[in-house]
Chains A and B, each alone.
Chain A
Amino acid sequence: MDKMTKIAAGSPGAEIPCVGSPEEVPTLVIKPKRGWLGVDFGELMHYRELLYFLVWRDLKARYKQTVIGAGWAILQPVISMIVFSAIFGRLTGIKTEGVPYPVWVYAALLPWTLFSNSVSQSSISLVSQTSLFTKIYFPRLLIPSSSVGVAVLDFCMAFVVYFGILSYYVFGKGLYSLLPGLSILLLPVLIFLIVIAALGVGFIMSSLTLKYRDFRSVIPFMMQTWMFISPVVWPSYLLGFTNKCLMSINPMFGLIMSFQDVMLGRPIEWLMLGISATVSVSVFIFGLYYFGRMERRFADIA
């Protein structure tokens, strides 16, 4: 028996089920799981098409029976930019180092919206889709991940809008200094780190919400507070060096700051970025671990 188990565990087909070539017959062993990281990456690869379909479903379904349709993906960030510009830009008169407030706030809203949409959507993703994973097996990580996937696509739309706003100020008003420099090459890395952090938080919050429904009420407050401790509507230069380092423990602090710096062609503060990046990766790994542990009982507590 021992020998058989070993063969089974080592077999490359252990990822099951799915239909492929009928020749190789995979063997699967089901038993109480042990070990700390319950993630089977081979299996995730096998199911990558499902991730695509889940994102596709959410996008398709969201704009059904709407008039403006996908136009909402553009309208939403534009409206929040206008609101923030009116309230924070005009009323409080925050100084933004010569950058027009709309551009300045939009460059910070972009990464923040990506993060906040990802986290709030993925947190409720498990609770709202219990009927899915209590009836069929697939890697449950795909459920919160697909919510993040949707937020990433929204981000791409909003990103295009940024360049629309930018060209108005650059070509309309001649503010050539707003154009990003070479450091924009760092942007994919920053986006990646934001997504990683969002996934990590999403994994943790979604499994917590599934078990303790209290978190459904907690998440909106959490995200609101999180926005105010991140440099979204206020400039980070208000803080001293030590405080900036401390605040960078919030991964979104360093990441939003660097994102804005990159977009506006300003120098990057590497130390804060380093701290935030490290925290992002740690949150992601812890999220995977926590989700893997909780996943075993999802169908029982859903």
Chain B
Amino acid sequence: MTEPAIQVKNLGKRYKIGVRNKPANNFREAMTNAIMAPWHRLHALGDKVTSQEEIFWALDDVSFEIEPGEVVGVMGQNGAGKSTLLKILSRITEPTTGEIKINGRVGSLLEVGTGFHPDLTGRENVFLNGAILGMKRAEIIAKFDEIVAFAEIDRFLDTPVKRYSSGMRVRLGFAVAAHLNPEILIVDEVLAVGDVAFQKKCLGKMNDVAGGGRTVLFVSHNMSAVRHLCTRGIYLNAGKVAFTGEVSDCIDLYLKHGDSGVGDIIRHGVYKSKRIQVDKILVNGNHEDRVFFTQGSKKVEVEISGDVLESGQVAIEVLISDDAGQPVGSFLPAHYSGGAPKLAAGPFHISSQIELPDLMRGEYLLSVFLTEPGRAHLWECERCACLFFEGRPWAIEGGTHSRDQAPHHGSVVLNGNVNYGS
């Protein structure tokens, strides 16, 4: 039996947080407070915790094990403790309780280009940064050409880094870090920088590292990168391990907790008219969950039921947009089939099957509207559901598509059929 690469046991990290002082009630108190202020500040800077209010457990009783060669994605909402965990694993800060056992050399990449000196040239900074990351001089010399080639900055090698564009700086920083060869690699959200082509290159390099049998701990909010790179996931919630297991289950859990790339999902719509009342909306037969995965399938089904309060034309419109809010496709059956049916007062049920275009892998937002075609919106449900579309990857497998070159970029007409019933 091999020993786990990383073994974390009952890890806890306590922080002391600032608590606002009580304001003074009268002049005398204000004067006393002013005189006593340095004394209070001295106390506040000290290590002693005087009240329970001041305690914040960034990590609380965290335990897990990672086997050698596993590529693990650490997920969680902002403030879940991901960065604290990585900081403790990289020995930047000490845990308050618990213990970690690590078998193997650790290389951690919490920031790209740590310790770059703006006045030094690119060449000099490669050596400095390499040394800070723990490389030996001889090793840096041996890998120097490779690093420069990866960063694609050979022309500016003898220019001070302060004159670099931010992209160049990031490329150089990542290039140095990418040539670090530890057995365990800890990477924080550092790939969210640089242009698409360079991101692709970085992810490719990460893929090599992950495929090379090394243990990787990866924090990212880029779910497609996590899904592609990681074999296992750890989901942190409020400083505790909420789930460990299959990476796809972990991503599901993470996305369901709201803080997905497309923002909050709001299931209930906004009424623009008193003509109608919506009781239920189902996306792919589902109304509890807010996120739907259309893996494999190229169809999405939207069903709405409720009551028509005042008879008149009612039509359904569905809009799909990408995680940046750009429309990808719209389904407007009433506009091309010559109007919508007139629904009588009483219960109604509208179901529609929409064919999805050949979308790139990622998250998309579904919005549903009920309208009186050409006249008014009756009911709007923007951000109704989040679709995770398992399409073609756009940055990883070295394909020629970037998101900008998606086959159906921009708003396209979506086909489908719709049934108005009651």
Task: Enumerate chain A interface residues (CB-CB to B < 8 A).
Answer: 4-5, 8, 16-20, 22, 25-33, 49-50, 53, 56-57, 60-61, 64-65, 131-138, 211-212, 296-297, 299-300
Contacts and interface: CB of A to CB of B under 8 A. Distances in A.
B133 interface: yes
A283 to B, nearest CB: 24
Nearest to B89: A30
B249 interface: no
Interface string B135-150: 1110100000000000
B80 to A, nearest CB: 18
Nearest to A213: B45
A4 B100 CA distance: 12
Nearest to A18: B134
Which range contains the number of B residues in contact with the other chain?
Answer: 35 or more
B93 A300 contact: yes
A137 B119 CA distance: 23
A49 B107 CA distance: 17
B258 interface: no
Nearest to A31: B99
Contacts of B180: 19
B101 A8 contact: yes
A25 B102 CA distance: 10
Contacts, number: 130
A53 B131 contact: yes
Interface string B228-255: 0000000000000000000000000000
Contacts of A20: 105, 136
A26 B104 contact: yes
A136 B116 CA distance: 13
A296 B88 CA distance: 11
A61 B114 contact: no
B91 interface: yes
B119 A64 contact: yes
A132 B45 contact: no
A138 B107 CA distance: 11
A194 B124 CA distance: 31
B102 A28 contact: yes
A29 B94 CA distance: 11
A19 B139 contact: yes
Contacts of B93: 297, 299-300
A132 B132 contact: yes
B120 A297 contact: no
Contact of A138 (B96, B132, B160): B132
B181 A60 contact: no
B190 to A, nearest CB: 10
B128 A57 contact: yes
Contacts of A57: 117, 120, 124, 128
B48 to A, nearest CB: 13
